Amino acid sequence: MRARKKKNTVPRLERVSDYLIGAVPAHPQGEIRVEVGCGKGKFVTALAKDHPDVTFYALEKIPDVIVMAAEKAAREEIGNVKFLLADAKDLTEGIEKKFMGLDENRNPILEDVAHEALCPSKAVSVLYLNFSDPLPNKKHAHLRLTHRSFLEKYRTILKEDGHIEFKTDNKPLFDFSVEEFRESGYEIYDYTEDLHHSGIPNPYLTEYEIRFSEQGMPIYSLKARPPKEETV
């Protein structure tokens, strides 16, 4: 669903600049958790409020959406959550193609540009993926946040005892994700195709989750641990 364009986004972001950061600190103190795609921030702010000893970092790539999440945290004076206007692909360092213009034949000029990691390795205890874009077109499968290429990135930032928590209302995305987790060596547990009737504790809901469950739609959910690092 496309977010509506908000008025005065830039000045609003400036007013909550204390809640916006460019990257997770290289040497974070204490436990940290990360939400990828935080939306309006209902889920992560509720978690942060109830877990004051944990620092939360929430990624969202749409400025008009992240500003609402940061404003919510500011209104409620929740100091242990910070927001990154960023994409999940940038969590770890890498190379991406950057459009540099057109050549004399009007063909695109692309250059490899390196970017630094937004998150240090082996730092995150829990990574939340809530109601990610299902991207139903098969040619976009590699862009889904549970594609194996992303799961490999998450593996590098998760602590040895860390895990991923994944929720969605989309059955095809859930089935795809289960296969990707398994093929990537993750251990799946707390698997359910109807979270709200499963008995699995679920005290923190997103805006989408509330809307879909009120419509009688099942919520698909799982947790997954990355494979253990091989020792020589």
154: number of Cβ within 10 Å: 26
- For residue 165, give both structure tokens: 């928590």
String of DSSP letters for 148-173: HHHHHHHHHHEEEEEEEEEEES-HHH
**Of 13, 1, 67, nearest in space to 40 by CA:** 67
Q: What is the C-alpha radius of gyration for the chain, rounded to an integer number of angstroms?
A: 18
| pLDDT surpassing 70 at residue 25 | yes
User: What's the mean pLDDT in 53-60?
Assistant: 97
Domains of the chain: 9-93+120-225 (3.40.50.150)
For the beta carbon of residue 136, count every other beta carbon within 10 angstroms.
12
Q: What is the pLDDT of residue 2?
A: 47
107-147 residue pLDDT tens: 777 665 555 789 999 999 999 999 999 999 999 999 999 99
Nearest in space to 130 (alpha carbons), one of 202, 23, 205, 211: 205
List for the chain the helix, strand, coil content (%; round to 5). 30, 30, 40
Tell me 77's DSSP state.
Answer: T
For the chain, how many helices (H) and strands (E)?
A: 6, 9
Residue 101: predicted pLDDT:
76
Distance CA 46, CA 202 (A): 12
Catalytic residues: 133
Note the pLDDT tens digit of each residue in 145-162: 999 999 999 999 999 999
Judged by DSSP in three states, 106 sits in coil
- Give 175-230 pLDDT, tens digit per residue: 999 999 999 999 999 999 999 999 999 999 999 999 999 999 999 999 999 998 76
- Does the pLDDT value for residue 64 go beyond 90? yes
CA dihedral 191, 120, 204, 40 (to 10 degrees): -120
Alpha carbons 53 and 33: distance in angstroms, whole number: 11
Strands 158-168 and 187-192, bridge-based pairing: unpaired
Q: How far apart are CA 60 and CA 64, in angstroms?
A: 10
